[in-house]
Structure 1
Amino acid sequence: MSRQTVYVQHCSGVNGLEKIILREVRGFSAEIYLYGGQVISWKNDLGEELLFVSSKASFKPPNSIRGGIPICFPQFSIHGSLQQHGFARNRFWALDPNPPPFPTTSTNRAFIDLILRHSEDDAKNWPHRYEFRLRIALGPAGDLLMTSRIRNTNTDGKSFTFTFAYNTYFSVTDISEVRIEGLETLDYLDNLKNRERFTEQGDAITFESEVDKVYLRTPTKIAIIDHERKRTFVLRKDGLPDAVVWNPWDKKAKTISDLGDGEYKHMLCVQAACIENPITLKPGEEWKGRQEISPVPSSYCSGQLDPRKVLFTY
């Protein structure tokens, strides 16, 4: 790669919102908006978009951006007085002036460190002090890595409890030709049936209607296989025992104002999450949750990866 290559570029995005572009040596790229601390683009070395963003997505605060990877914190779904999926995706993040140490190599320069702290607006509905540090990086082979560190900075001695998800919108060719491997035989909570608990049947998850499920005690690796595009996404996660699978299908899609009527066909949300057993932090305690997404040849199946191979470098 040329010495003039810019691994991290700061620039303006839609509606003048500040964004950062990451580029790695093989040609992969990612775009992150400081609004929401949100990845909104991840492209491979051919320039093909790997994440879905709605054509009707709003890039106007305080609306959240439909697509990419919104961060759900301090809650997933709707509970109490907080807005759905929490407030982290509706806040302006800052560059972290004092990021925690991460192992890096001289060839891995495409990363950004962001931070979100409590605000007076948050305190009205969630009266806690916290520091949320987020590193977003492109690995040497173009893998997209996200590491979240959340610390309780309360000075009143109080603990706080939260749930969390990386709400990843994958771009797929045709949802009816997609399958997920790695979640078969697991228990799940069905959000379409009042969170009733069921056990998944069959060899793989396929799609022919609306799906909104929280899979429990999931493996560290999940595969999303796009048959038509001959592409597979491997999602690896750490500290995030649950996995949410969501597609609104046709009727629900028509009720979502910032989603095109037919766009459900080209998206699938698979979210590394911690929902069933919320995380509680005492003052000074820190939680860490990571995910890594890799595009691999479509011949992948869930039993192929060596579980001893640790690909996380951050």
Structure 2
Amino acid sequence: MSSPLGGQEAEAAVKVTKDKNGVDLITLQNPRGFSAKVSLHGGQVLSWKNERGEELLFRSSKANSKPPAPVRAGIPICFPQFGNRGSLEQHGFARNRIWEIDRNPPPLHHNDCDGKVFIDLLLKPSEEDMRIWPHSFEFRLRVLLTSHGALKLISRVRNIGCKAFCFSIAYHTYFSVSDISEVRVEGLETLDYLDNLHHKKRFTEQGDALTFETEVDRIYIGSPHMIGVFDHEKKRTFLIRKEGLPDAVVWNPWEKKAKAIVDMGDDEYRQTICVDGAAVEKPITLKPGEEWTGRLELSALPSL
């Protein structure tokens, strides 16, 4: 849980406090003044601020933060499924559970720890989880801030049981934007996508960039390792870099659906866009003893 920053230790911090529900809340701050807040409720990043204190992630004014309800904010982790099918709750149970701080994480690649401030979290299935999804696993998550202020999530899911299992996963990232009409997403051109508004019918993206004039709920298949989200009014670009996450989910509920979402303000759809690193179209299979690793890195850069 400590920061490997050497001589810069006094300028960086990892602090653990309690939220209003008594759940541990971890605050990370790097030497440049970037910060992030991570809750053990869902292992969820709730906040990511730049060196000027500007919030880069969206949080609904109506978000319910009391466990076990999911929190409409930041980066909910959808695991072991994305969507709604079978006996599992929508988007799985990981975002609703109380995680723990991993005091003895196994070693990671040096690029995932050097010169950064981080926290390691761990989720294991409860008896209730095993009844609805009977598979033994360990889900380890490292959340870190790079020395330049990028937010990075490194996830490792290990099968510690005696039978194989499959899962899907998505980091349902709510970016904070000026107005959805001022946003475009690049990097998805010519890709096939499954449209959840048309019973997952398969289409091909025709535009040079994705812009928003109505509800969008799509799974782009085989998306590139880097995707850009451009906010013209704020002159800000979010870069999404991902590994082990072949798909990208893009979602905005627009006006009609936003009014039907109880934990979202009627007009708040304008202030957010969800662009997720995900593995959805082809679920990941792990045999006993196997481990999957996924990496998501978010950067916020000025743009013209």
TM-score (norm 2): 0.95
* 8 Å Cα contact 1:64-1:90 kept in structure 2: yes
Determine if contact 1:246/1:269 at 8 Å carries over to the other structure. yes
Q: Pick from 70, 74, 82: which aligns with 2:76?
A: 70
Aligned to 2:233: 228
Deviates more, 1:252-261 or 1:9-18: 9-18
Counterpart amino acid of residue 274 in structure 1: A
Mapped to 1, the partners of 2:198 and 2:27 lie a distance apart of: 41
Deviation at 1:105, TM superposition (A): 9.2
Alignment partner, residue 251 of structure 1? 256
Partner of residue 143 from structure 2, selected from 136, 139, 147: 136
Secondary structure class of the residue paired with 2:298: strand
Of residues 88, 91, 95 in structure 2, which corresponds to 1:89?
Answer: 95
1:311 is matched with which residue? none
- The ranges of structure 1 where at least 4 consecutive aligned residues each deviate by more than 3 angstroms after the TM superposition are 1-6, 104-107
Inter-partner Cα distance in structure 1 for 2:224 and 2:116: 30
| Deviating more after overlay: 1-10 vs 20-29 | 1-10
Number of the residue aligned with 2:4: none
Q: Which amino acid aligns with 2:227?
A: I
1:7 to partner: Cα distance = 1.4
1:174 to 175, 179, 183: 179
CA–CA distance in structure 1, aligned partners of residues 154 and 107 of structure 2: 12
SS at match of 2:21: helix
SS of 1:275 mapped into structure 2: strand
Q: Find the aligned partners of 1:43 and 1:132 in 2 and give their Cα distance.
A: 26
Which residue of the partner structure matches residue 198 of structure 1?
203
RMSD: 1.4
SS at match of 2:260: coil
Tell me, which stretches of 5 or more residues in structure 1 are unaligned? 300-314
For 2:225 and 2:111, how far apart are their aligned partners in 1? 23
What is the identity, as a one-letter code, of the residue corresponding to 1:236? R
Specify the code of the residue in structure 2 equivalent to 1:136: V
Counterpart position of 1:37:
43
Question: In structure 2, the residue corresponding to 1:265 is in which secondary structure?
Answer: helix
Q: How far off its partner does 1:6 sit?
A: 4.8
TM normalised by structure 1 equals 0.92
Kept in 1: contact 2:76–2:172 (CA 8 A): yes
Question: Contact 1:24–1:140 (CA<8 Å) still a contact in 2?
Answer: yes
CA shift for structure 1 position 2 = 7.1
Whole-Å Cα distance in 1 between the matches of residues 102 and 253 of structure 2?
36
The 1-side partners of 2:116 and 2:294 are apart by 21
Structure 1 pair 204/153, CA: closer, same or farther in 2 (3 Å)?
Answer: same
Q: Which of 113, 120, 131 matches 2:127?
A: 120
1:146 alignment partner AA: L
Q: 1:27 matched to which residue of 2?
A: 33
Give the whole-Å Cα distance in 2 for the aligned partners of 1:254 and 1:151.
39
Q: Distance in 2 between matches of 1:193 and 1:114?
A: 37
Is the 1:24–1:108 Cα contact (8 Å) retained in structure 2? no
Counterpart Cα distance in 2 of 1:15 and 1:153: 32
Across the two proteins, how many residue pairs are aligned to each other?
297
